[in-house]
């Protein structure tokens, strides 16, 4: 496992960790933590869900108090739309630089909460950056989005929502699924018995989804 310290590159946009692949054929994962996490937060989860995959794990660049995030929010459930767009662009550039530096294919995002939201924004704003996505507790990141166009070319996406999630706006998982389907993605939406935190059912669904991409 390495912490990169390259200079004069889009790789510098995020402090991150990279774990090389040990199993040929496993998709590389882009690990995107929730509020308060960092570049170490989802390494163990990525290894458990897709053993042998290359892991690329950036830290969010926005601080809410002392808690890292991938973009600003104005209040609980109210996202800063301009910052979502800016940070998604930075993350797209980072992924491109990391692919060149580490010699990996387009990654599959594995995102939780704030990390799932920035992954959803990447899918909408920068199609082609991700080869797929697992969105755990994602909400609609762009309320001022333009009408979707068919740009995602059957990109596989798994959305897993909690049926008692107190943070999630009512109906957002279904809205997000519709947005991504309209943009051409192949979306699977599942709801588990849970709040905002992850449960074993989330992990089982994510592992099965990632195994199908190998």
Contacts of 119 (CB under 8 A, 6+ apart): 30, 32, 109, 111, 130, 133, 135, 138
Render pLDDT for 19-67 as a digit per residue (tens, 0 to 9). 999 998 999 999 999 999 999 999 999 999 999 999 999 999 999 999 9
Active site residues: 113, 165, 196
Q: In sequence order, what DSSP letters do the residues of 131-198 get, joined into one string?
A: SEEEEES-----TTPPPP-S-STT-EEEEEEETT-SSSPTTHHHHHHHHHHHTT-EEEEEEES-SSS-
User: What pLDDT shows up at residue 21?
Assistant: 98
N residues, the chain: 214
Render pLDDT for 125-137 as a digit per residue (tens, 0 to 9). 999 999 999 999 9
**H helices of 7-76, where?**
43-49
Render pLDDT for 91-100 as a digit per residue (tens, 0 to 9). 999 999 999 9
156 close to 132: Cβ distance less than 8 angstroms:
yes
How many C-beta atoms lie closer than 10 Å to residue 65's C-beta?
Answer: 7
Confidence of residue 144 (pLDDT cuts 50, 70, 90): confident
Set out the domains of the chain in order of their start, with CATH numbers: 2-212 (3.40.50.1820)
User: What pLDDT shows up at residue 82?
Assistant: 93
Tokens of 110: 């594995």
Q: What angle do CA 71, 165, 172 make, to 5 degrees?
A: 60
């Amino acid at each position: 496992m390495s912490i990169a310290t390259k200079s004069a590159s889009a790789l510098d946009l995020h402090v991150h960790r990279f774990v090389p692949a040990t199993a040929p054929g496993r998709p590389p994962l882009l690990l995107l933590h929730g509020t308060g996490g960092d570049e170490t937060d989802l390494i163990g989860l990525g290894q458990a869900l897709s053993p042998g995959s290359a892991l690329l794990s950036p830290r969010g660049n926005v601080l809410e108090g002392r808690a890292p995030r991938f973009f600003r929010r104005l209040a609980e459930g109210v996202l800063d739309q301009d910052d979502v767009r800016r940070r998604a662009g930075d993350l797209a550039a980072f992924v491109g630089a990391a692919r060149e530096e580490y010699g990996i294919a387009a990654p599959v995002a594995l995102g939780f909460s704030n990390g799932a939201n920035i992954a959803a924004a990447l899918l909408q704003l920068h199609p082609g950056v991700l080869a797929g996505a697992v969105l755990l507790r994602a909400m609609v990141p762009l309320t001022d989005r333009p009408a979707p166009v068919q740009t995602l070319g059957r990109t596989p996406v798994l959305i897993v929502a909690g049926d008692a999630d107190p943070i999630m706006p009512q109906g957002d998982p279904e809205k997000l699924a519709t947005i991504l389907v309209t943009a051409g993605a192949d979306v699977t939406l599942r709801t588990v018995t849970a709040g905002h935190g992850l449960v074993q059912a989330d992990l089982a669904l994510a592992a099965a989804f990632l195994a199908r991409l190998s």
